[in-house]
Chain A
Amino acid sequence: MINTFVGNLGHFMVILAFVSSLVTAFSYYKYTLSNELEKVSWRKFSRISFYVHAVSSLSIVFILFEIIYNFRFEYFYAYSHASKALPVHYMISSFWEGQEGSFLLWIFWNVVLGLVLVHTNKTWEGPVMVVFALVQAFLVSMILGVVFGDLKIGSSPFVLLRDVSNAPIFQINPDFVPEDGTGLNPLLQNIWMVIHPPTLFLGYASTLVPFAYLMAGLATKRYHEWIRPALPWTIFSALVLGMGIMMGAYWAYVTLNFGGYWNWDPVENASYVPWLILIAAIHTMITYKKSSTALKTSIVLVITSFILVLYATFLVRSGVLGDTSVHSFTDLGLSGQLLIYLLFFLFVAIFLSAKEWKNIPTSDKEASVYSREFWILIGATTLALMAFQVILPTSIPVFNAVIESFGGISNMAPPADQEEFYSKFQLWFAVALALLTAVGQYFWWKKMDKETLKDVLTVPYIISLIVAAIIITVGKVYTISYIVVVMAGAFTIIANGGIFFQLMRTSSFKLAGGSLAHIGLGMILIGVMFSSGYSEVISTNMSGLTYKKDWEDDLNKENILLWINKPLQMKEYSVIYRGRNKKVAGVPGYVNVNKLKATERVNEAVALQDIEAKGKVYHKKGELVNIVLEENSYFEIEYYKGDDHKFTLFPMSQPNPTMGLISSPDSKRFITQDLYTHISAINDYGDPEWKDDEIYDVSPGEQFHISDFVTTFEGGEVLTEVDGVELQEGDVAVKATLVIYDNDIEKRITPLFLIRGNQVGRIPVVDSDLGIKVELTNILPEDNKFSFTVNRFQKDYVVMKAMVKPHINVLWAGTFLVLIGFGVACYRRYDEFIKMRDKGLE
């Protein structure tokens, strides 16, 4: 039965949220302009209106989740993003897999941030909330789903499947509800994907806060007062956005199979660029607080970071990226609306700043080379250039679209080797940044001139040269550019480390945010250099099979074919593929597929043998077990050094009906490096096409060959009981035992032969690992021989790739340190704001 009530309620809440956001914007506007007497009532009304907006927005979120949670597949959103097999935590991912859900996530965070701002501000509430409410109105309009004639505004998450689908079933039965949904994109079925989007969207949403303070400051002519309340939020934003980006990178590293954490995909770039600008903004804002310079620069940077977030949204959601990105959304027809959203705030920001530009105080004094302002400005400029270098090529599809809309033809495509293209600039910019942070920190804490600068820098300079020399020798870094990276990284770590210890001795931890973040930057630089620059594919194909074409010599085959149980040498390791496994609920590790037989129900199987792990029996033979996502297979790869079994990896693969083969790597983590293994191709596990019959007549004890397996026929045995068959009086059941040797594996298979009256029954054995089917066809008592019919297919195999990623942990540790640094700085600046507010100065 179709439940249309929830959807209608949801749609009503969307409209209510839209209307209330407009009312909130208007009433906060009136509140800001009104005199003291009227202010109280306008404020009360505005707050009520915002609470209505908050409650209706939260209701939309709740209703959409209800639809997914209760499998209401009559709704298109639930049908296309959820399925019954998904565990609850992945339903959360289903929620934001679609565009509508991700807009909702954004709306949700803005509501939370708005509530915090309403309750922490005194004088800023009015104008800041006008900006907030306007942004909310634009965001809610994206999920409005209202149609006026040909004009469609927004795409509602509450449309029914029958209204979107052309399937003929709906003409016969409009109340048809599909049994199951099409499920969540398997790449998103990862715990990092449950928390990465909310973090990233909180980062996106929070860039609105400094922007709103700035707009409020310009509109109410408080040209510099906005900096104090905005600064902790700018740092918060950089912290959360940075965390979101790194979670995404980590997710890519553990689930995607391109072999790294960063791919320079337009979607990644679109989040990286506003982050760089945010960092620049933080630095100029802090400079302004210290010495009243760089106010205009701060204004430009805060506007740019917010507009870049909107631009990123436009790139990812308008469909303009088309073929150039693996994970942009499909176009929902929102591109016009997104463009209006972007241009509206761009126009408002430019208009307000231009109008007030000449009133904004500037400092006339020329920054000296020995002043911190000068070095901060250089740093901010470097960050801005870094951002420019990334956003420009990322926008190539936009340039093409613009040229084509004016009737021109443009066939420009993004650079073919993106990694090489971006790295050659970003590497040197990052080196410059590392050096600037090291020098800049000294200027920050002390007055400097030529002599003192020489004095303070000599010691860290010498120490870092020694440290760099050690890293270069031990890590065998022999490329000039990488040597420079190591030196710059070491210099920033040592110099900032020195400052950090001084601060800890003389003042409090509260001030150490900057030096911690800069130490982290140095570590990231070194970690990226090692893990990417010295990433090495060790699974190079040594088989010597080529097409013998002249151009093929310079191509390295980076994948190897592993037949089951057959060892292959790969650099210092010898690897053996041992078969396919499943994850069973409640059982540690993995369970081989040969021990399980699927039932008709989703994610359920019967145990064909006792399921044992670590010496404990978890399931007895014949019991029903629950498989965790039955589509996922885990391929068991054993790694040996010499004869010693070192470790076993279980890379995952899922043949997906809509997306092809989805693979997730598995890595062995060492302190100094990761060994990363992923599956590139797998066997077809459908019904095999058996080859012609091969007949073998053998006597008990005789040895023979089935394909290239040495096989011993141990003998026949009369049975009194047979699984699954009830034996009657006079029936004869015979079991033949064959032992098949495949490399170091010994397999015992037992085909059966049954006689009842004149009829003969045969129960063959299929071994899918070895790709054989063996049937006991006849017993020839006169010759003392048994006759077997064998059909062959092919042995099980995987094609895999393995890489070494040295010192990737330095990168993760550095990231951690940067985030802690932001956290400390954010706390300090927020504390300042609260103290000033309570003194009545805000």
Chain B
Amino acid sequence: MKKGHILGIGVIAVAIVIIITMMGSASTYESFTTAKTMHKNGNAKAIHVVGELKKDTNGSVVGLEVGEDKTSFIFTMVDNDGMEQQVFYNEPVPADFTRSEQVVVIGAYKGESSSMFVAEKILMKCPSKYQETDV
């Protein structure tokens, strides 16, 4: 066998490893219901959940509890299936948080009772200034 072939096989092998690892490490978009099932089955992988903050009839955000030292907070999120869930985030409240139209939380359920979703990261979609029509 020529060296070129060995090299070629080596490259393909590494490429396959890369693809498999990517498939293994890639996260998924889930709902709170499927995320809870995953947690109960012992799957601790961080997943993405897309949803909105819970709002009352006036449109103001409800269920936001800021920690005493202001460095963490809990909020209530409603996922796209309409399920409500308390989410804990170990960072101060981002300043435009309550104005966000959509939130994506990346994290997993924690603890025995699976009552709290702990977010490692929060992505927010805010009303873009490009869409703003009031001059």
Contact = CB atoms under 8 A, between A and B. Distances in A.
Interface of A: 79-80, 161, 165-167, 169, 176, 178, 182, 323, 326, 330, 366-367, 369, 374, 377-378, 381, 385, 388-389, 392-393, 396, 411-417, 421, 425, 541, 543, 545, 547, 549-551, 555-561, 655-656, 658-661, 680-682, 797, 799
B93 A681 contact: yes
B129 A182 contact: yes
A93 to B, nearest CB: 16
Contact of A167 (B93, B128, B129, B133): B133
A435 to B, nearest CB: 16
Interface-centre pick from A367, A412, A416, A545 (highest chain B CB count, 10 A): A416
Contact of A413 (B7, B26, B92, B120): B26
A278 to B, nearest CB: 19
Interface in B3-46: 3-4, 7, 11, 14-15, 18-19, 21-22, 25-30, 45-46
Nearest to A653: B95
A661 B111 contact: no
A551 B110 contact: yes
Interface string B62-74: 0000011111101
Given A169-B135, A374-B3, A413-B27, 17 more contacts: A165-B133, A182-B132, A388-B18, A392-B18, A411-B29, A414-B26, A415-B22, A416-B47, A416-B121, A547-B74, A547-B88, A557-B69, A558-B90, A558-B91, A658-B127, A681-B92, A681-B93
A599 to B, nearest CB: 25
Nearest to A368: B3
A560 B28 contact: no
Interface in B57-102: 67-72, 74, 88, 90-97, 99
Contacts of B19: 392
A425 B18 contact: yes
A553 to B, nearest CB: 10
A367 B7 CA distance: 12
A206 B94 CA distance: 40
A323 B125 CA distance: 8
Interface residues of B, number: 60
B36 to A, nearest CB: 15
Given A393-B22, A415-B26, A551 B118 contact: yes
A80 B130 CA distance: 7
A381 B10 CA distance: 10
B134 interface: yes
A367 B29 CA distance: 48
A561 B126 contact: no
B135 A178 contact: yes
Given A413-B47, A680-B91, A549 B28 contact: no
Contacts of B127: 658
Contact of A389 (B3, B18, B48): B18
Given A367-B3, A411-B28, A661 B94 contact: yes
24 contacts: A323-B104, A326-B123, A330-B128, A330-B130, A366-B3, A377-B7, A385-B15, A388-B18, A392-B22, A411-B30, A412-B29, A413-B27, A414-B27, A415-B27, A416-B106, A541-B69, A549-B111, A549-B116, A557-B90, A559-B91, A659-B126, A660-B99, A680-B71, A799-B71
Nearest to A326: B123
B67 A545 contact: yes
B97 A660 contact: yes
B56 interface: no
Contacts of B67: 545, 547
Given A367-B3, A658-B126, A416 B46 contact: yes
B72 A557 contact: yes
A551 B97 CA distance: 24
Contacts of A182: 129, 132
Contacts of A558: 71, 90-91
A369 B3 contact: yes
A63 B116 CA distance: 56
Given A393-B26, A545-B67, A557-B72, A655 B135 contact: no
A661 B96 contact: yes
Contact of B123 (A323, A555, A559, A682): A323
Interface of B: 2-4, 7, 11, 14-15, 18-19, 21-22, 25-30, 45-48, 50, 67-72, 74, 88, 90-97, 99, 104, 106-107, 110-112, 116, 118, 120-121, 123, 125-130, 132-135
Contacts of B74: 547
A385 B18 contact: yes
B128 A381 contact: no
A559 B29 contact: no
Given A417-B46, A555-B118, A559-B91, A161 B135 contact: yes
Given A385-B11, A555-B118, A413 B69 contact: no
A799 B91 CA distance: 10
A413 to B, nearest CB: 4
Contacts of A541: 69, 71
A660 B95 contact: yes
A160 B19 CA distance: 48
Contact of B116 (A389, A551, A561): A551
10 closest A-B pairs by CB: A660-B96, A661-B95, A416-B46, A551-B110, A681-B92, A660-B95, A559-B71, A413-B27, A551-B111, A411-B29
A412 B97 contact: no
B18 A416 contact: no
A633 to B, nearest CB: 13
B92 A680 contact: yes
A547 B19 CA distance: 41
Given A167-B135, A366-B3, A393-B26, A560 B71 contact: yes
B71 A80 contact: no
A391 B82 CA distance: 35
A381 B94 contact: no
A178 B133 CA distance: 12
Nearest to B135: A167
A176 B135 CA distance: 10
A543 B30 CA distance: 35
Contacts of B118: 551, 555
Contacts of A80: 129-130
Contacts of B107: 416
A561 B46 CA distance: 28
Contacts of B28: 411-413
Contact of B15 (A388, A413, A551, A556): A388
A415 B24 CA distance: 9
A165 B134 CA distance: 8
A659 B96 contact: yes
A551 to B, nearest CB: 4
B77 to A, nearest CB: 15
B7 A378 contact: yes
Nearest to B50: A323
A366 B4 contact: yes
Between A414, A545, A681, the greatest number of chain B beta carbons within 10 A of the residue's beta carbon is seen for A681
A833 to B, nearest CB: 31
A415 B30 CA distance: 14
B70 A681 contact: yes
Contacts of B45: 416
Contacts of A656: 96
Contacts of A330: 128, 130
B106 to A, nearest CB: 5
B19 to A, nearest CB: 7
